[in-house]
Structure 1
Amino acid sequence: MDEASEGSRLLLQEEGGGGDRERLLLPQDADLITGDGSVDTKGRPAPKYTTGNWRACFSILGNEFCERLAYYGIARNLVTYLKVNLHLGNLEAARSVTTWQGTCYLTPLIGAILADSYWGKYWTIAVFSSVYFIGLAILTLSASVPAMQPPTCLGTVCPEASLLQYGIFFIGLYMIALGTGGIKPCVSSFGADQFDDTDQAERAKKTSFFNWFYFCISMGSFISGTIIVWIQDNSGWGIGFAIPTISMALAIACFFAASNIYRYQKPGGSPLTRICQVAVAAFRKRHAKFPSDLSLLYEVDGQTSAIAGSRKLEHTNELKFLDRAAISSADVKSKPFTDPWKLCTVTQVEELKILIRMFPIWATTIIFSAVYAQNSSLFVEQGMVLDKRLGSFSIPPASLSTFDVISVIIWIPLYDRILVPIARRFTGREKGFSELQRIGIGLVLSILAMVSAALVELKRLEIARSEGLIHEKVDVPMSILWQIPQYFLVGAAEVFTAIGQVDFFYDQGPDAMRSLCCTCYSFSGRLCKLNRTDPGFIHYNSRRRSWMDI
């Protein structure tokens, strides 16, 4: 399958009584093919009625569900495996998991650059999925073969794992990090590529795709955090890791099953190189005067862009200093070649302008990521000092994050099937809400989640004072179930902000940079994990005592 192949003629495939045949594409055939430049498996203009759309997306959604089930099947209980089977201490195990998760957040940049620049999304997903599967297989072998694990503990004496045993396990683990990171920015954007941007009906379906895409992520996470974790704790780690491995094999099979009906966007070359070219060219010509008619700024002739897989972008008047990169001499168009480090097209300049204009939106969504990060930090700490009893059962504080996932699973169908049709009547938008409206609603819900957590904390402190439990190492007689609303509100905020953010970056991002733009969400999450000034780290007084100790 060659996404970058281009024939000298535009051909259209037809189905006839004697089988498929090809003919020249005629002007009256415009309604039969996509208008966004996508091609079919053989590099021809993609037929609108036999490729893409939901028929192709079902395979992508199945792939995402199985892949997320595999990922969370490893991630949810990884710290337990490191402590119990590899005999790492608490600090070492936690540090190893944090480092691995950080790698999972950073590797999407590799996949995004390769997809947008050279391989295309399809082959990037295919290659990194194979790496992913091999990593899972190595982990399964490591957990199944006794020689690949240290001897069992004798009382309190736990033999250390050998260098070889550590090496095999962590090679598999970091192959998973590379695999999941490599495909993460590509799958959502590849799914969105199946809907024609120039067709209003298909554009509306794209937002619905992002909703169900996130639904599949949440379902995979929910099943992994309940069923697979239980299997690992009760039936052994060999079978507990084998299930994610089999799930990843199903994900790969599901993805390849629809190869003949996918729509493909051609890679446009390195986006980072194009960004640097605009910056350098604009700086070199910082003293150049703008032409009186800005339509004279340099752009290639014809209807297609000089960037493969990208449509031409209209000139905008913002960030005008960058336009200097497209100031050309009168005879430049007569030359067969121009130096892109001295002269860039208007489309190339507009790509950088779009990225700069999107940055403030990305920055505001860090607020949501900071709230979401409390699910595994501040909220858990709060739960640890509340009454965890439910009859004879003790509720693990971290398990309440399941209500966040349940909230997402409930809210996505409600949003897609009820809220959007109602909003459509008032806004006149096919999507119901614009991407920014959706993100804004989610940010408000994020604030309400923290307000709910604050009210619970105020009540806990009040009870602690009234019961004389200040500075006592005992649980406050207030049920941990009071935390459910804050988890539920975070889940609702995800449906609005997280999905709205992916939709926004895909929709507004340049055609040839969509995988790169879709990595923005994971980077905002990673910044919050690195940020040591979130609420989980500022609740200390001058004596280094946390208010949670009250």
Structure 2
Amino acid sequence: MVLLNNKPNNGAAQGTEPERTGNGKSAVGEIHEVTTIGDKSLENSIEPAGNEEPASNVSEAEGQLKKLPFPKSIFFIISYEFCRGFHYYGMRTILVLYLSRQLDYDDDTTTVIFHVYAMLGYFLCVFGAIISDSWLGKFKTILYLSFIYVAGSALVTLGAVPPLNLPATTFTMVGLGLMSLGSGLVKPSISAFGGDQFKLPEQVKQMTTFFSMYYFVVNAGSLISITTTPILRDDVHCFGEKDCYSLAFGLPASFVVISIVVFAFGRPLYKNKPPAGNMV
């Protein structure tokens, strides 16, 4: 009779060594090691990637973007620009008539004076940007150089008041020069200073809204002034004269004074970036 042994063939129990592979490990141990490595690989594939942010963090970041309020300082800048636009275009509207009818310049001279005045206001923007970025900064450039603008407007207005008997031609020419200087040096800093009030890239949409508001108020101020100043000149009679240029110049001049006061009141709210140094 043949007896069958049902016990597993254990090399240690039978006195024989288990079969070994070429690297010196037993076949059973090698299989166990491969299985362990496979399990670890499977666990690693299930774990989330370290570079991916959880959805909760993304939602939290989006919530922070929505919480950033619209800068209150913008409303002071917008008000300043409205008043400045009202003054600039109001003065230009009646300037040609004043030069030709009151100061008795011929048409050619009047045209030259008008275009030189307008050209300097844009040409000097380059120097205004250099002053702002290199030395004074945007806030001080706007505030300080606006007084030059006010001085020029005051000279033109005073020269147009007949009872004062001032040299109208001299006052007007000097006043126009100061207004061109002040306007040109201030102009490039206003919109840039408004852009500085926003935190980027979080407030890109709000900054876009600001620039839309900025150009709207400039055009609104110019539209109102070019409608109002001719009416004041023609329909109001002052100092015994048919045309009241002193009032037509005086109203825009008062607006530019108001603009400085409003702009200065917003100082505690402004974000002032220091000048970057010599840009030349």
Give the TM-score, by structure 1 length.
Answer: 0.37
The alpha carbon displacement at 1:61 in A equals 0.3
Residue 24 of structure 1: aligned partner: none
The alpha carbon displacement at 1:245 in A equals 1.0
Q: Residues of 2 paired with 1:237 and 1:250: CA distance?
A: 20
The alpha carbon displacement at 1:128 in A equals 1.1
Residue 192 of structure 1: aligned partner: 195
Residue 205 of structure 1: aligned partner: 206
> Aligned partner of 1:179: which letter?
G
Residue 56 of structure 1: aligned partner: 73
> Aligned partner of 2:229: which letter?
I
Q: Deviations 1:418-462 (Å, cap 9, x if unpaired)?
A: xxxxxxxxxxxxxxxxxxxxxxxxxxxxxxxxxxxxxxxxxxxxx
Q: Deviations 1:96-116 (Å, cap 9, x if unpaired)?
A: 101111111111112110000
- The answer to whether structure 1 residue 269 and structure 2 residue 272 are counterparts is no
SS at match of 1:101: helix
Q: Residue 114 of structure 2 is aligned with which of 76, 91, 97?
A: 97
Residue 240 of structure 2: aligned partner: none
Residue 88 of structure 2: aligned partner: 71
> Aligned partner of 1:167: which letter?
T
Q: Given that residues 122 and 264 in structure 1 are in contact (C-alpha distance below 8 angstroms), is that contact kept between their aligned partners in structure 2? A: yes
Q: Residues of 2 paired with 1:87 and 1:148: CA distance?
A: 16
1:367-446 matched pairs, under 5 angstroms:
none
Q: Deviations 1:496-543 (Å, cap 9, x if unpaired)?
A: xxxxxxxxxxxxxxxxxxxxxxxxxxxxxxxxxxxxxxxxxxxxxxxx
1:526-537 matched pairs, under 5 angstroms:
none
> Aligned partner of 1:242: which letter?
G
Residue 126 of structure 2: aligned partner: 109
SS at match of 1:54: coil
The alpha carbon displacement at 1:148 in A equals 4.3
- The answer to whether structure 1 residue 130 and structure 2 residue 131 are counterparts is no
Percent identical among aligned pairs is: 30
Q: Given that residues 93 and 229 in structure 2 are in contact (C-alpha distance below 8 angstroms), is that contact kept between their aligned partners in structure 1? A: no
Residue 254 of structure 1: aligned partner: 262
RMSD: 1.8
SS at match of 1:195: coil
> Aligned partner of 2:259: which letter?
A
Residue 179 of structure 1: aligned partner: 182
Q: Given that residues 125 and 184 in structure 2 are in contact (C-alpha distance below 8 angstroms), is that contact kept between their aligned partners in structure 1? A: yes
Q: Deviations 1:327-350 (Å, cap 9, x if unpaired)?
A: xxxxxxxxxxxxxxxxxxxxxxxx
Residue 23 of structure 1: aligned partner: none
Unaligned runs of 5+ in 1: 1-30, 32-47, 150-163, 273-550
SS at match of 2:192: helix
Higher-Rg structure is: 2
Q: Given that residues 153 and 176 in structure 2 are in contact (C-alpha distance below 8 angstroms), is that contact kept between their aligned partners in structure 1? A: yes
Unaligned runs of 5+ in 2: 1-60, 62-66, 237-243
Residue 218 of structure 2: aligned partner: 217
The alpha carbon displacement at 1:233 in A equals 2.5
Which is bigger in relative contact order (C-alpha 8 A, separation at least 6)? 2
Q: Given that residues 138 and 172 in structure 1 are in contact (C-alpha distance below 8 angstroms), is that contact kept between their aligned partners in structure 2? A: yes
Change in Cα spacing, 1:166 to 1:267, as seen in structure 2 (3 Å) is: same
Q: Deviations 1:122-154 (Å, cap 9, x if unpaired)?
A: 0000111111111111111101144546xxxxx
> Aligned partner of 1:189: which letter?
A
Q: Given that residues 53 and 194 in structure 1 are in contact (C-alpha distance below 8 angstroms), is that contact kept between their aligned partners in structure 2? A: no
Residue 249 of structure 2: aligned partner: 241
Q: Residues of 2 paired with 1:209 and 1:127: CA distance?
A: 24
> Aligned partner of 1:233: which letter?
D
Q: Residue 168 of structure 1 is aligned with which of 151, 155, 171?
A: 171
> Aligned partner of 2:102: which letter?
N
Give the TM-score, by structure 2 length.
Answer: 0.71
Q: Given that residues 159 and 169 in structure 2 are in contact (C-alpha distance below 8 angstroms), is that contact kept between their aligned partners in structure 1? A: no
More helix by share: 2
> Aligned partner of 2:217: which letter?
C
Residues matched between the structures, number: 208
> Aligned partner of 2:195: which letter?
A
Q: Deviations 1:467-510 (Å, cap 9, x if unpaired)?
A: xxxxxxxxxxxxxxxxxxxxxxxxxxxxxxxxxxxxxxxxxxxx
Q: Deviations 1:9-64 (Å, cap 9, x if unpaired)?
A: xxxxxxxxxxxxxxxxxxxxxx9xxxxxxxxxxxxxxxx97xx9431100100000
The alpha carbon displacement at 1:76 in A equals 1.4
Residue 348 of structure 1: aligned partner: none
> Aligned partner of 1:111: which letter?
G
Q: Residue 86 of structure 1 is aligned with which of 86, 92, 103?
A: 103
Change in Cα spacing, 1:53 to 1:194, as seen in structure 2 (3 Å) is: farther
Q: Given that residues 87 and 253 in structure 2 are in contact (C-alpha distance below 8 angstroms), is that contact kept between their aligned partners in structure 1? A: yes
